[in-house]
Amino acid sequence: METSVALTLTLALALALVQGEVVSNTKCPSVKTLSNVTEVRISPCPEPGNGAESPCQLQRGSTASISIDFTPDEEISRLRASLSWMTVGLELPFPGLEPNACNSLTTGKCPLKSNSQNIWTATIKLSTAYPLGTYPLKLKITDGAIVPNVVLCEIFSVQLVDDNSWF
């Protein structure tokens, strides 16, 4: 009996780690999008200290996964992704993100069908050269057209910490 309880708890914990922590996010202001975002998740995301509004603490020198559940309002044949740091009125590109967002769909495939739920997931490397602190990130996925239409645009914050900052 104890073995089955331990196995159930282990599986539940593993599933929670794979799915990631739902994070507080906002749609980019004044941007018309072609989809509805239902959830943004980051993994690993240790329990924020001050509730759901606190950003995930991500360790420099590690990797993190960002997942977004979204439903397009129309068929979309191509997807282009970009991630940027937002600081002092500037948007600085975050390096290392796969620009062809079709390659990062874990549920769904291009071309996306109208009103079908899709999940986009990307893994990013957090360099030890990045400064410690809390930063808003802007994730934008477009349709890849010459004059691109915005499929989704979300802003969320992360806090970069050193290994010993978690304790």
3-class secondary structure per residue, 32-60 = CECEEEEEEEEECCCCCCCCCCCCEEEEC
pLDDT band with cut points at 50, 70 and 90 for residue 87: confident
- Report the C-alpha gap between 61 and 112 in whole angstroms: 34
* Confidence (pLDDT) at 24: 94
* Confidence (pLDDT) at 163: 76
Pairing of strands 150-161, 56-59: parallel
Average pLDDT over residues 108-116: 97
Alpha-helix runs per DSSP H in the chain: 2-19
- Complete domains list, the chain, with CATH: 21-166 (2.60.40.770)
Q: Which residue has the higher pLDDT, 16 or 152?
A: 152
Answer positive or negative: Cα dihedral of 87, 90, 91, 95: negative
Question: How buried is residue 50: exposed, middle or buried, by Cβ count under 10 Å (0-12/13-18/19+)?
Answer: exposed
- Report the C-alpha gap between 84 and 30 in whole angstroms: 17
CB of 51 within 8 A of CB of 111? no
pLDDT digits (tens, 9 = 90+) for 9-62: 333 333 344 457 999 999 999 999 999 999 999 999 876 555 557 899 999 999
Q: Is 82 left (phi over 0), alpha (psi -120 to 50) or beta?
A: beta
Q: What is the pTM of this model?
A: 0.83
CB of 142 within 8 A of CB of 77? no
* Confidence (pLDDT) at 50: 52
Pairing of strands 26-27, 150-161: antiparallel
Residue 136: how many other CB atoms lie within 10 Å: 15
